[in-house]
Structure 1
Amino acid sequence: MTSTETSAVDDLGALAHRLSHPAATPCVCEAPRVLADRPDGTVVRSGTTVAKAHAPGTDREALAARIAVAADPRLAGILLPPLTAPASPAAPGPGTAVRGTRPPAASRPVTLWPYGEPVDPSDPQAAPWADAAVLLARLHRTPPPVPFPPMRGPAKAAEAVDRMRTALPGHPSALPVLAAWDALPAWARDETPAPGARGRFLCHGDLHLGQLVRHPAPDGPWLLIDVDDLGTGDPAWDLARPAAWYAAGLLPPEDWLTFLDAYRSAGGPAVPADGDPWPALDVPARALTVQTAALALVKCAAGQRDPDEPEALMLASCARIATSPPELATGPAS
């Protein structure tokens, strides 16, 4: 970890620690712990408080709008609400930048959250697919504020493809991924808005099991976290990652059906109430397949290794997509 990264982590740890432990409260907890440290965000926990430094270059106005939605009472029981820090320069409120002597943290917007217990990755049988689906359906049925930023799902897919192009210029392994990408409509490549009424729903934008926590920890109800990509868009995008995993053979059919049935039972608008869901899911599922495959190739190049089995399955899905007509390309792998 570089000195700049270390400074940002130290800033976040100190901030979370101060909020979790008022000056007069004895502290017997562990040292602040890094929960994530990626280009798109650094997350540090101290006690019951989590501090997140968002990506450099984050649109602060859009982030503030997203944080306000997370705090909206209409989203209670769906999105984890942010914490409001004490009014002091050293402890900012949601969506503001840290004011301190260390420029690394000061250059990035920081938000504060209560700690929630995440999904246990070692226990796939307990994965809360039905809970995730119900939360999504409730989110999609909530009217978004007007105006409100667009959901960033297509933008993240485009960023992943750009990263792959930079890391593997002209490499043969990237060609099927690029062919699958080029076959997508412009809105799925973040070149135009989502079409018509499909683009007017409130969407999470980056749904996966890492975006759920139990709050209060450790056994409260499940809530969605991470509003960085929240916005208006096609709600099918939020179903697209599990759909893509199912199509590639990574998600067991029973888990996919549990997720889909729960979403439909909760009145989710992304797919018809019955019948074939793939016409609605096809384009977003293809886009998430491309995004996943592109990032897999970037990781393989950085680690100088071959794709592992899940990565190879997503790359094979891209090859199918590149040579299959729409609505057939993402059907379950046989």
Structure 2
Amino acid sequence: MTTAPLLPALTARVRATAHARTPACRSCGAATLADRPDGTVVRHGDVVAKAHAPDTDPGALAHRLALAARLPGILLPPLAPAPADLYGRLVTCWPYGTPVDPEDPDAAPWEAAGALLARLHRTPAPAALPLMRGPARTAAALARLRETAPHHPGTAPVLRAWTALPAWARGAAPMPETSTPCHGDFHLGQLVRHPAPDGPWLLIDVDDLGRGVPSWDLARPAAWYACGMLTSDEWTRFLAAYRAAGGPAVPPDGDPWPALDVPARALTAQTAARALAKAVAAGRPLDDVERALIDACARMASVAARVPGS
């Protein structure tokens, strides 16, 4: 959560930026869109300001912002080339975009998502771009699970599935491929329409953007599909759009799973770890989706992962 002076300062920053862009702005106030330890997001008018996590590296964030500015048809471009500092937190400002409606799953833009990721993956990666942070985020989720729920019966199968993964997927060894720009934390919440309300879809959130294994960006939808949380039609639409746009993470036809299996297992373990930790923190029993994720981890530990060439 934000410290006491940060939120008013962030609100003042987003209001000033919005009024500078649109002097006739009639927005009557700022709305807090998110307030988590890893980021606080405030909107005023057509501008969004984000205070990044306290441990964000300023040089790495600057390189990520530079890539977003270079790819305006793929990533939402920032409003300024460098972050500001507010009470020791790095702050960036962005144009507001209309997010995916979680209440209308039939309208989820799976085709747009697949095409955008393919275009990102086909872009040459600048040498200065940091590494993609996906495996590190997964490792952090498992570390938190060990701390918060070491004795919960669901923890053991999640940890078994996790420890069976190759070291690179656990953030414990270099990634086998680091020449491709990757989003690093793709899910439908990372898409907005800009200009709002019905412009083209763009990817947002550069915090994990970097060079890495492109199949990681397909891993969360793949994991959802494997766990029964995404329909065959939705998965097929997403994968077909990615392939049609020349995405390099999977072969252009045939079985995609040798390329996807390890990242999908990692994202299943990460999602299960986060869900279990939240349930324990809230003192509530697991719901059906959370139990399905833990069951998937139990199955994963008993079946060897597939890898390209196997």
Same fold (TM > 0.5)? yes
Does 1:256 pair with 2:256? no
Does 1:150 pair with 2:144? no
Does 1:160 pair with 2:156? no
Q: Which residue of 2 aligns with 1:233?
A: 212
Aligned length, in residue pairs: 307
Equivalent residue letter for 2:62: A
Greater Cα offset, 58-67 or 162-171? 162-171
1:155-194 alignment, distance < 5 Å: 155-194=136-175
Gaps of 5+ in 2: none
**By how many angstroms is 1:193 displaced?**
1.3
Q: Which residue of 2 aligns with 1:132?
A: 113
Q: Which residue of 2 aligns with 1:108?
A: 89
1:35/1:45 contact within 8 Å kept: yes
Does 1:15 pair with 2:16? no
Q: Which residue of 1 aligns with 2:55?
A: 57
**By how many angstroms is 1:172 displaced?**
2.5
Equivalent-residue separation in structure 2 for 1:83 and 1:238 (angstroms): 25
**By how many angstroms is 1:327 displaced?**
2.9
Identity %: 60
- Output one character per residue of 1:101-125: Cα deviation in whole Å (capped at 9) or x when no partner: xxxxx21100010000000000000
Equivalent-residue separation in structure 1 for 2:21 and 2:37 (angstroms): 33
3-state SS of paired residue (2:49): strand
**By how many angstroms is 1:94 displaced?**
2.9
CA spacing shift, 1:320–1:23, aligned 2, 3 Å: closer
Equivalent-residue separation in structure 1 for 2:152 and 2:105 (angstroms): 35
Equivalent-residue separation in structure 2 for 1:157 and 1:23 (angstroms): 38
Give RMSD over aligned pairs. Answer: 1.6
Does 1:25 pair with 2:16? no
**By how many angstroms is 1:26 displaced?**
5.0
1:1-334 alignment, distance < 5 Å: 5-22=3-20, 25=23, 27-72=25-70, 75-84=71-80, 94-98=82-86, 106-195=87-176, 198-327=177-306
Equivalent-residue separation in structure 2 for 1:229 and 1:264 (angstroms): 23
3-state SS of paired residue (1:199): coil
3-state SS of paired residue (2:3): helix
Q: Runs of 4+ in structure 1 displaced over 4 angstroms?
A: none
**By how many angstroms is 1:96 displaced?**
2.8
2:132/2:184 contact within 8 Å kept: yes
**TM-score of the superposed pair, with normalisation by structure 2:** 0.96
**By how many angstroms is 1:148 displaced?**
2.0
**By how many angstroms is 1:308 displaced?**
1.3
Equivalent residue letter for 2:286: P
Equivalent-residue separation in structure 1 for 2:168 and 2:258 (angstroms): 16
CA spacing shift, 1:24–1:213, aligned 2, 3 Å: closer
